[in-house]
Amino acid sequence: MTDKEKAPAYAAAMAAGMRDACIDAVLTVPCSWFQQWLADHVDVPGGWPTYYVTREEEGVGLASGLSLAGRRPLLAIQNSGLGNSINAILSLPVLYNLPFIVLMSMRGLDGEPNPGQVPMGEASRRLVEEILGAPTSLVHDLVSARTAFTIAAEAASLAGRPSFILMPDPGRLP
């Protein structure tokens, strides 16, 4: 697959995975890696109700409210927003046992052009797994780009807390 073909292919796989997992709303402070996914599949007629929030922790609040109302929201953020959201995640969905999926782009790793992303990039996985105690799924190819959503949904439901899908740069995936 050429680099130009990757973004649309991964976007389509993710959308299929969201349908498999019965996601019914998307909340986001978007990452540039989500551009094609949002424009072609999510925030389109026949896609999903899409809410652009002002801060990632606000998105945690909205997702918690939607979860309380029995919905299955997806919160899509960049990992730089994870740090902003630690207390929100621990004091809301973790404290009250509210499951939902967080799709998180993993900036600041190999090939990152912006040095400002690096410290959070290096800390992200530890924060999610060790501090938040959240189940994680890693997207590593086209198949996992789809299956990660049902895996994450089930893991969140079992754990009674958010489950994270970690999304590397699609341009660096096979």
Site residues (vs another protein, CB under 8 A): 24-25, 49-51, 53-55, 57-71, 73, 87-88, 91-92, 95-98, 160
CA pair distance 24, 18, nearest whole angstrom: 8
- State which residue, 36 or 64, has the beta carbon closest to another protein: 64
- State which residue, 35 or 91, has the beta carbon closest to another protein: 91
The DSSP code for 77 is E
The least CB distance from residue 71 to another protein, in Å, is 5
Give the total residue count for the chain. 174
- State which residue, 42 or 167, has the beta carbon closest to another protein: 42
Residue 11 CA to its chain's centroid (Å): 13
The DSSP code for 51 is E
DSSP assignment string, 130-152: IIS---EEE--SHHHHHHHHHHH
The least CB distance from residue 98 to another protein, in Å, is 7
The least CB distance from residue 143 to another protein, in Å, is 27
CA pair distance 21, 65, nearest whole angstrom: 19
The least CB distance from residue 97 to another protein, in Å, is 4
The least CB distance from residue 93 to another protein, in Å, is 9
- State which residue, 66 or 104, has the beta carbon closest to another protein: 66
Neighbouring residues of 129: CB distance < 8 A, sequence distance ≥ 6 = 136
- State which residue, 9 or 86, has the beta carbon closest to another protein: 86
